[in-house]
Structure 1
Amino acid sequence: METSRVTHVRQLLRERKYRTLSVDLLRWHPADIAEVLEDLEPSERLLALRLLPDEVAGEVLAEMEESSAREILDDISPERLADILEDIQDDDAAALLEDVPDALREEVIALMEAEEAEDVRERLSYPENSAGRLMTADVVRLRRRWTVAETLDYLRHAAQTLGSVYYLYVVDEDDHLVGVVPLRALVTAAPEKTIREIMTPNVVRVNVFDDQEIVADLAAKYNFVALPVVDSEERLVGVITIDDLVDVLEEEATEDIQRLGGSEPLGTAYFATPIRTMIRKRIGWLMLLFVGGTLTGSVIRLFEDITTQFTALTIFIPLLIGTGGNAGSQTVATVIRALALGEVEFHEIFHVVLREATTASTIGLILGGIAFVRALLWHTGYEIAWVVALSLPFITVWAAIIGAMIPLVADRLGIDPTVISGPFISTSVDATGLAIYFTIARLILM
């Protein structure tokens, strides 16, 4: 579908059928238009965007990858850009202006209407990745004394100026957040009832300076599609809506996956990330793993007497350290996910370790039995086969213990478990796993 749309847009651009293309584009959702524009050449992209009304163009830019949107912003006149940003949510406008040069940003904001310009300036004044950057100031504020009928009448009259409404927030005379009314509760309540009677007084909220990870955790925990944002005095200043919550959840999940693999988060789309940036993001951990890998060589040298005498032992080194690393990685991933969901805490470390060790011991025995048969088929002899078969349960259990402890201890120390768990497992299990293997070999063979 997307490929055919790209071809269709390119053909109309070549034939200069701009009116037809404009009509066709307006039939599509902004997210679909954004996908098509990202597959066009920069010149085609800019021309297609010029055919869209300001509001639609803004929504399309907000849906595009940062790198693609930035290329367009560099080529749009400040006057047109100001018109576009005035017609979209203030949080989307601020996000689009984040990465443009300071001079251009100030010029565009100066060209915007005073109210919209002030909202964008306020968004940009908050730290990057904070709730203040994510929120929009377009939030419904109700009073406790209003009746349901009065509130519905107010919403009907204010509908044109409001964004997406999921929850209605109740404030006092000083704008302090005192309650929330889900839209469903409002439309099903008796018209004569007051907001005070139907509101929920205990409102889950975030502070403007809270990190987006806190926002994501709360949204996931309570299954909210919007979160109110308050300042240091608990005054309602904005709301973070579902579109931004989804983006945050995706971004945080992406960062965790990249960190778990031993790489710093890219922060941009894959193809939009320069090679030099990818090198810089990866080289640090790889150098650490490289140095840690020398420990494995040191262990082999330490047991050089037995490997020289029983060379068949070396055949199984990749199998054993690979199994140990995989077992540890499985445990790390499981425990980190449980931590993220709040299913385990540090004080439960003994139970977690015992549970993982029990699981790993069973798996190790199964793998040990398979390895025993495999070793015999390779004609290494019964003694070598027993060494391999006995080593696997010990190595998998040891890897599981380390894999269970690292995330819990890191979390306890205030360190992101995804940052250190993957690399630490790789270096520690390889060296210690070989030490276990050669120690068992020495006990059986010598």
Structure 2
Amino acid sequence: MMDDATLNFPPIEEIEQLVAEGRLTELQAQLERIHPADIALLLDELETETAVTVFELLSIEIASEVLDETGGQIRQELVEKVDDERLADLLDELPMDDAAEFLEDLPDEISDRLIGLMEPEEAAEVQELLAYEEETAGRLMTRDVVALRRQWTISETFDYLRSLEDAETLHYLYVVDRDNKLIGVVPLRTLILSQPDQTIESLMSTDVASVPVTADQEELAEFVTRYDYFVVPVVSPNNELLGVVTVDDVLDIFEEEVTEDIQRLGGSEPLDQPYFAVSVFQIVRKRIGWLLLLFVASTLSGEVIRLFQNELDLVVALGFFITLITGTGGNAGSQTVATIIRAITLDEVRLSNLGAAWWREVSVGLLLGLAMGAVGIVRALLWNTGYEVALVVALTLPIIVIWSTTVATVIPIVADRYRIDPTVISGPMIATIVDATGLLIYFSLAKLILGI
């Protein structure tokens, strides 16, 4: 964790003392010198009541930015304890795409109440954004976009820009026709370096990269990453300019997608809201389905053990290595699936090069398996299990590692090919499959080598 000096705010104890002694004017002066993102981190460190008091001291401009930067429990506390009228004023101050993102994380009842208290124009824009399907470009875009006309001169364009009250970004200036259809783009740098009497049409590039309003947010993030854009125009099916998505929104997408993937890798459905805003029963509902499915799948391991019960009764020492065998297979599979899913995300691995990826992972699995087998045979001999059982363990470990890397390589790639999120069927599911099949391999080798 970064220290207070790094984050550019006074020690927590000093702030708590200022609040306790009622020296709020002094504290307010200090807060004005701190960046809103740092204030949001500061609120996370404070007790709830103190955090709310500090938040109430902020001007509406700073408070709106702080509200946008907060997350998790402190955001929930602010929504519960700050007056609705003030919250609505803060949402009016935010860019409408950020306001929409804030509201979509709230329960419908609270969200509707706050929208009803916002200024009519801002409320209408937020409702329009929320009407688009979740996780699409339409939900993420802002309508505060600068649109130019091709016949304008540079001088006229600058007069127009000076008249604007607000704009999300001016990195790129988009050109539209009389029907608001996107026909060109002019970088701000080009505009600044041009002569006053030149026209926009003479400067604009007609090769404009845009995304449809229905584009999935993952596709949008990949688009921005591939072409290194700061901002991307969003268009209707008729190529009308509807808004723009900026790079800060794309960074939020990456954070959201990574969070979802981590939760799915753990065998749980992603949470729709910040952690502390979700009730215990909602968390249970998100987890119970996969937990029951994995429970049923895990019974396969029990079935395999039951199938070879006679062999276990004859050679009790085989039971010593059950957890070692299943653990090694599961761990090797987890390592592989994490690498493969990351490669799929970066578009480095796909169905067309499945064979190359499989051979690479099998080669790694063979070397790892041989190393684990060497350690395994030493462990078995130290437990005085006899040479034959030690040989079974030494042969099983390389085979199970190769098998687990195969499963962990093939399943995510095939799932991605058929547009199934590979994280959904990876992690615990692959480990469960490897456990059952690994035991089958282990006991089959034991039966063959020991002649039982």
Instruction: Say whether the fold is shared (TM-score over 0.5).
Output: yes
**Of residues 428, 434, 442 in structure 2, which corresponds to 1:437?**
442
**Structure 1 segment 35-434 matched on structure 2, within 5 A:** 35-65=41-71, 67-98=73-104, 108-148=114-154, 150-158=156-164, 160-188=165-193, 194-434=199-439
C-alpha distance 99-165 of structure 1, shift in aligned 2 (>3 A): same
Structure 1 residue 15 corresponds to structure 2 residue 15: no
For the Cα contact (< 8 Å) 1:289–1:426, is it kept in 2?
no
Matched position secondary structure for 1:319: helix
What per-residue deviation string (whole Å, max 9, x for no partner) do you get for residues 310-346 of structure 1?
A: 2222212111111111111222112211111111222
What per-residue deviation string (whole Å, max 9, x for no partner) do you get for residues 60-86 of structure 1?
A: 111111553343234444443343222
Deviation at 1:422, TM superposition (A): 1.5
Segment of structure 1 superposing worse, 194-203 or 301-310: 194-203
Deviation at 1:7, TM superposition (A): 2.7
> Structure 2-normalised TM-score?
0.89
Distance (whole Å) between structure 1 residues aligned to residue 112 and residue 423 of structure 2: 38
Distance (whole Å) between structure 2 residues aligned to residue 199 and residue 403 of structure 1: 49
Deviation at 1:148, TM superposition (A): 4.8
Aligned residues: 445
Segment of structure 1 superposing worse, 36-45 or 344-353: 36-45
What code does the residue aligned with 2:93 have? D
C-alpha distance 291-107 of structure 1, shift in aligned 2 (>3 A): closer
Matched position secondary structure for 2:424: helix
For the Cα contact (< 8 Å) 1:90–1:136, is it kept in 2?
yes
Distance (whole Å) between structure 2 residues aligned to residue 273 and residue 108 of structure 1: 19
Deviation at 1:387, TM superposition (A): 1.2
Segment of structure 1 superposing worse, 264-273 or 375-384: 264-273
Matched position secondary structure for 1:181: strand
Gaps of 5+ in 1: none
C-alpha distance 104-322 of structure 1, shift in aligned 2 (>3 A): closer
Matched position secondary structure for 2:426: helix
For the Cα contact (< 8 Å) 2:145–2:167, is it kept in 1?
yes
Deviation at 1:149, TM superposition (A): 5.3
Matched position secondary structure for 2:34: coil
Distance (whole Å) between structure 2 residues aligned to residue 194 and residue 359 of structure 1: 61
Deviation at 1:349, TM superposition (A): 2.2
> Structure 1-normalised TM-score?
0.90
Distance (whole Å) between structure 2 residues aligned to residue 364 and residue 188 of structure 1: 63
Segment of structure 1 superposing worse, 277-286 or 13-22: 277-286
Matched position secondary structure for 1:349: helix
For the Cα contact (< 8 Å) 2:73–2:275, is it kept in 1?
no
C-alpha distance 435-12 of structure 1, shift in aligned 2 (>3 A): same
What code does the residue aligned with 1:39 have? E
Distance (whole Å) between structure 1 residues aligned to residue 162 and residue 428 of structure 2: 56
C-alpha distance 20-89 of structure 1, shift in aligned 2 (>3 A): same
For the Cα contact (< 8 Å) 2:181–2:240, is it kept in 1?
yes
Deviation at 1:219, TM superposition (A): 2.4
Deviation at 1:255, TM superposition (A): 0.5
For the Cα contact (< 8 Å) 1:263–1:285, is it kept in 2?
yes
Identity across the alignment (%) = 50
What code does the residue aligned with 1:123 have? L
Matched position secondary structure for 1:416: coil
Deviation at 1:423, TM superposition (A): 2.8
For the Cα contact (< 8 Å) 1:5–1:36, is it kept in 2?
no
Distance (whole Å) between structure 1 residues aligned to residue 73 and residue 67 of structure 2: 11
For the Cα contact (< 8 Å) 2:76–2:276, is it kept in 1?
no
For the Cα contact (< 8 Å) 1:285–1:423, is it kept in 2?
no
Two-structure CA RMSD over aligned residues (Å): 2.6
